[in-house]
Amino acid sequence: MAEEKKTTRKKIQAADTMNRIMADYFHDLNDAAVNGKRKVAWCTSVGPAELLRAMGYAVHFPENHAAMLGATRMSTDLIPAANAIGYSPDICSYLTADIGACLKGITPLSKAYKGIESVPKPDVLVYNTNQCRDVQDWMAWYSRKLGVPSVGVTSPRNVNEVTDAHIDDVSRQIEALVPTLEGITGNRLDIDRLREAVSLSRECTELWKKVLETATAVPAPLTFFDGTIHMGPAVVLRGTRQAIGYYEVLLAELEQRIRDGVGAVDDETCRIYWEGMPIWGRLRQHSELFLQLKTSVLASTYCSSWIFQAFDARDPFRSMAKAYLELFIVRSDAYKETYIKGMLEKFRIDGIVYHDAKTCPYNSNNRYGMPQRLEAETGVPALVISGDLNDLRCVSDEQTKTNVEAFIEQIMEGR
């Protein structure tokens, strides 16, 4: 058993800047909804945010809100409210937590940001099922509850190679959204503004990629747990200059850490890849657990899912379609395996932790034999921990701790 000692997580100085940017974003969103100056769109995380920004919408991301419910540990008390109206506890706990919060009239935004009383009321709901079909059902419930239209893109799935047929299908669907969205704002889409938003998203994505790739350094200057927080601007401010400005600051700090030989984990001895969703209500505990074991969880599929290299301002609709289709979650098992193998090599990984999230089959890739196949092919050992992204009733802290400790011990002994 590893010896426990008091450890302190290293603060990333840019976090203060990020907190300011995020506060500005939420206040701006709130102003749009309260003052009615701009229309508000709710958009699923890899929905067509660039299009919405170009059309002047203030954009709220329900998954971001749901993750906040998880991180603030409010979700476990809210999920039963959604269960009571018929949503099974087996169903996506982002959905059940968020709908539960709506039913109870609660939001973490009101605690975090003075002057904000509720999530911004939407004028339109926009989804893309590239990540899962649940988002469509989630928006459908709000559509009914709030009396606003729900429109979106239903994506091909299980894509091995992204073909022209796939891109044609998705780009046609994105273009078909335009008349509805124009009808709501009363303004025509300015294609140059769309090109600009796509271009800004591309710039943001390039910087975010560089940020994550700083973790290829030994020791790694940031962890997965840092990444889940610092990805905030890449998620909610894609297509804006603020996000780009922030990642320039963050990247500079991390590069300085590399030059100084400073790792996020002191005396880093073990490097871990995290596959699956974070357990939002346990970020701190998990971060400290690995820290105590001198182990850096430094790369993940989750944080890397906000890298969209296909964005191209010259061909905005088709490049958006391509970017949304190239997402890991949309891809075939063969692609996913190749992708993870590449990540293991690139980040010099000693072991993989798979999070089997009870209510998120789409992000629980351990369920289909991948750990066994990848371990046989690469020799990199795997550990599966059971839990959930938001429903802490599915999380066993003691079991997680024991399993992780034994796993790291095994890796170290195997050297």
Partner 1 sequence: MEFKSVKEIVDFCQELFDDIGFARAREWKAAQPGRKVIGYMPVYVPREIIHAAGMLPLGILGGGADMEVIHGDAYYQSYICRIPRSTIEMAVTGKLDFVDGMVFPSICDVIRNLSGIWMLLFKDRYVRYFDAPQNFKDDIGGVFYSNELREFREGLEKLAGREITDENLRNSIAVFNENRRWVNKVYDFRAAFPWKAPSAEVYLLMRAGMVLPVEEHTRLMQAYLSAAEAGKRRMRDNCRVVLTGVFCEQPPLNLIRSLEISGCYIVDDDFMLVNRWLLGDVPADGDPIGNLSRAFLHHSAQTAAKYEPDMAEKGRYLLDAIRARSADGVIFAAPSFCDPALLDQPMMISRLEALKIPYITMQYAENSGQMQPIREQSGTFADSIKLWSAS
Residues that bind partner 1 (CB under 8 A): 85-88, 90-91, 129, 132-134, 136-137, 140-141, 143-144, 150-151, 153-154, 156-158, 165, 168-169, 172-173, 176, 332-334, 336, 356-359, 361-362, 364, 366-369, 372-373, 384, 386
Number of Cβ within a 10 Å radius of residue 339 = 14
Q: Which is nearer to partner 1, 147 or 186 (CB)?
A: 147
| Shortest reach from residue 143's CB to partner 1, in Å | 6
CB 56 within 8 A of CB 182: no
Q: Which is nearer to partner 1, 350 or 356 (CB)?
A: 356
Q: How far apart are CA 274 and CA 300, in angstroms?
A: 5
| Shortest reach from residue 373's CB to partner 1, in Å | 7
| Shortest reach from residue 54's CB to partner 1, in Å | 21
Question: Buried b vs exposed e over 5-23: b needs ≥16 C-beta within 10 Å?
Answer: eebeebebebeebbeebbe
Q: Which is nearer to partner 1, 117 or 377 (CB)?
A: 377
Q: Which is nearer to partner 1, 93 or 205 (CB)?
A: 93
Question: Which residues does residue 386 pair with via DSSP β-bridges, in sequence order?
Answer: 356
Q: Is 218 helix (H, G, I), strand (E, B) or coil?
A: coil
Within 44-166, strands assigned E span 58-60, 124-128, 150-153
| Shortest reach from residue 374's CB to partner 1, in Å | 11
Helices (H), 72-107: 75-84, 93-104
What secondary structure letter does DSSP report for 390? S
Q: Which is nearer to partner 1, 168 or 266 (CB)?
A: 168
| Shortest reach from residue 156's CB to partner 1, in Å | 5
Number of Cβ within a 10 Å radius of residue 196 = 18
| Shortest reach from residue 277's CB to partner 1, in Å | 13
- 381 upstream amide cis, omega within 30 of 0: no
- Amino acid making up residue 309: Q
Phi, psi of 296 (to 5 degrees): -105, 115
Q: Which is nearer to partner 1, 3 or 161 (CB)?
A: 161
| Shortest reach from residue 280's CB to partner 1, in Å | 18
CB 151 within 8 A of CB 125: yes
Q: Which is nearer to partner 1, 16 or 168 (CB)?
A: 168
Q: How far apart are CA 361 and CA 388, in angstroms?
A: 10
Q: Which is nearer to partner 1, 93 or 240 (CB)?
A: 93
| Shortest reach from residue 400's CB to partner 1, in Å | 15
Q: How many CA atoms lie within 13 A of 237 on its CB side?
A: 26
| Tokens at 76, concatenated | 């476990």
- Amino acid making up residue 410: Q
Helices (H), 87-163: 93-104, 108-112, 134-146
| Shortest reach from residue 255's CB to partner 1, in Å | 38
Q: Which is nearer to partner 1, 158 or 187 (CB)?
A: 158
Q: How far apart are CA 83 and CA 62, in angstroms?
A: 18
Q: Which is nearer to partner 1, 127 or 247 (CB)?
A: 127
| Shortest reach from residue 149's CB to partner 1, in Å | 9
Q: Would you list the DSSP string of 3-29?
A: PP----PPPPTTHHHHHHHHHHHHHHH
